[in-house]
C-alpha cells in the first residue's frame, strides 16, 4: 500500500467501509479485500500506512481529526469565517482562515481535498449543534441524532429516503458550508435542510466526529462507528439467501455465472450481515452489536417498518415514504434456489450460511422489541 495506489482519503474510506461499502473490489483475490481492516487502528500495517500517507500538514490534520473524533479550534474557526466566502470552483478565501491555517501549504488536490473535508465537516458540526434542540423536540426529547446502518441489499435505500424525509423534510436541500460549490461530493459531507438539520453520509470525517443530525452509510458497525444512547440507530436485516441472490443480480456483470460468484466472491460480501455486525465474524459479538441498535427491522416484514419507527420516535411518518422493492420475483426465486443448492454442497459455505441464519433469526426476535 503506497501513495501510488491510494491516498489518505481513500485509505480512510476503505478503513471505515471494510468490505461493506461498494468500491469495485469483491473477489477473494483482490488485495483491497484482504487488508486486515478488522484488526482496527492498532494493527501495525494500518498504523504504518497512515504514517506513510500523512507527510503533509493537511493530510496529517485530516487523519488526526478522524482518529481523535474532534475538530481542532483552528479548523472550526476557519470553517465559520469562510462559510460565506465562495469564490467559485470550490475555492474559499483563505485570507479569512485562522493564522495557523492561512500559511498552510497545499501541495496538490489531495491536500485541498483534505482541507475541504475538514472545513465542511467542522461547519456541519456547528450547524448540527444549533439544530439539536429542534431535533430533540422532533423526537419527543428522545434523540439528538439518527444513524442508519445500511447493509447492502436490505432495502436500505428506501429506508434512507424515508428517514431523510422525516429528518430534513422535503427537498431541495443545500450544502451546509456555503463556501464550497454545491455538488454531490460536498453534499454528502453536509446536506442541510432549510431548518438547519444536517445530514452526512459516506464520510469518515462525519462518522468519527458525529457532525450530523442524520447519517447513513454502508460502513459496518465497529468501535469507531458505534453510537451513544442519545442516537436513534436502526438497521434492516434480510433473509440471507434472498440477500445473496439480490447481491448476485447486482454483481453479475463482474462474474461469469452463479458458480463463479459463489466460489470467487469474497466471503465478507457473501455473508455480509454477520460481517457487518462483527468483522471477525463471531456470532456472539454480532448478536451483541445488534442488541445495541435502537430498532432492528426485517425486510420480509417491511410493511411493519413505519409503525415501529413511528412508535419509537413518536412521529407520524406516512407509509408512502417507503417505496416497494421492484424486480422479477420469479427470476429472483430461481436464482435463490440455485444459490441455496450450491451452498448446500460446500461444507464451508454451509457453515457460514448457518451462522447468517442464526443471526437473522435473532434479528427477528429483536425486531419485536417495543
The CA distance from 255 to 330, in Å, is 21
For residue 74, pLDDT beyond 50: yes
pLDDT in tens, 290-348: 999 999 999 999 999 999 999 999 888 876 555 545 445 556 789 999 999 999 999 99
pTM of the model: 0.90
DSSP structure string for 125-161: HHHHHHHHHHHHHHTTTS-SEEEEE--TTSSHHHHHH
Mean pLDDT of the chain: 86
Beta carbons of 117 and 205 less than 8 angstroms apart: yes
CB count, 10 Å around CB of 138? 20
As a whole number, mean pLDDT of residues 105-124 equals 88
Tell me whether residue 347 is exposed, middle or buried, using C-beta atoms within 10 angstroms of its C-beta: 0 to 12, 13 to 18, 19 or more.
exposed
As a whole number, mean pLDDT of residues 83-91 equals 53
Between 285 and 78, the higher pLDDT residue? 285
For residue 185, pLDDT beyond 90: no
For residue 250, pLDDT beyond 80: yes
The CA distance from 34 to 27, in Å, is 10
Sign of CA dihedral 144, 150, 154, 158: positive
The CA distance from 258 to 332, in Å, is 12
pLDDT at 140: 87
pLDDT at 186: 47
Nine-digit cell string for 115: 482541507
pLDDT at 225: 85
Domains of the chain: 8-366 (3.40.50)
Nine-digit cell string for 19: 468490505
Amino acid at each position: 500500500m503506497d501513495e501510488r495506489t491510494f491516498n489518505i482519503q481513500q485509505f480512510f474510506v476503505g478503513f471505515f467501509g471494510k468490505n461493506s461499502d461498494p468500491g469495485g473490489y469483491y473477489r477473494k483475490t483482490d488485495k483491497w479485500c484482504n487488508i486486515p481492516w478488522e484488526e482496527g487502528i492498532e494493527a501495525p500495517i494500518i498504523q504504518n500506512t497512515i504514517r506513510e500517507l500523512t507527510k503533509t500538514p493537511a493530510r496529517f490534520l485530516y487523519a488526526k481529526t478522524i482518529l481523535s473524533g474532534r475538530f481542532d479550534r483552528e479548523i472550526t474557526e476557519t470553517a465559520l469565517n469562510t462559510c460565506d466566502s465562495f469564490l467559485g470552483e470550490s475555492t474559499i478565501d483563505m485570507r479569512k482562515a485562522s493564522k495557523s491555517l492561512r500559511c498552510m501549504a497545499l501541495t496538490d488536490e489531495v491536500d485541498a481535498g483534505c482541507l475541504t473535508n475538514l472545513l465542511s465537516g467542522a461547519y456541519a458540526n456547528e450547524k448540527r449543534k444549533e439544530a439539536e434542540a429542534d431535533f430533540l423536540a422532533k423526537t419527543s426529547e428522545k434523540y439528538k441524532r439518527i444513524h442508519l446502518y445500511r447493509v447492502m441489499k436490505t432495502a436500505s435505500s428506501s429506508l434512507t429516503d424515508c428517514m431523510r424525509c422525516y429528518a430534513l423534510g422535503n427537498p431541495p436541500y443545500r450544502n451546509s458550508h456555503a463556501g464550497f460549490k454545491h455538488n454531490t461530493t460536498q453534499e454528502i459531507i453536509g446536506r442541510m435542510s432549510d431548518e438547519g438539520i444536517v445530514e452526512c453520509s459516506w464520510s469518515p470525517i462525519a462518522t468519527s466526529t458525529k457532525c450530523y443530525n442524520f447519517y447513513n452509510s454502508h460502513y459496518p458497525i465497529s468501535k469507531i462507528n458505534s453510537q451513544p444512547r442519545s442516537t436513534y440507530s436502526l438497521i434492516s436485516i434480510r433473509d440471507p439467501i434472498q440477500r445473496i441472490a439480490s447481491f448476485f443480480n447486482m454483481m453479475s456483470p463482474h462474474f461469469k455465472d452463479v458458480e463463479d460468484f459463489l466460489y470467487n466472491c469474497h466471503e465478507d460480501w457473501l455473508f455480509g450481515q454477520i460481517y457487518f455486525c462483527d468483522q471477525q465474524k463471531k456470532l456472539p459479538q454480532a448478536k451483541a452489536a445488534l442488541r445495541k441498535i435502537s430498532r432492528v427491522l426485517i425486510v420480509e416484514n417491511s410493511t411493519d417498518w413505519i409503525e415501529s419507527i413511528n412508535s419509537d420516535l413518536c412521529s407520524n411518518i406516512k407509509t408512502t415514504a417507503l417505496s416497494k422493492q421492484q424486480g422479477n420475483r420469479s427470476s429472483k426465486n430461481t436464482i435463490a434456489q440455485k444459490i441455496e443448492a450450491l451452498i448446500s454442497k460446500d461444507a464451508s459455505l454451509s457453515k457460514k450460511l448457518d451462522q447468517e441464519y442464526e443471526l437473522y433469526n435473532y434479528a427477528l426476535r429483536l425486531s419485536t422489541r417495543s
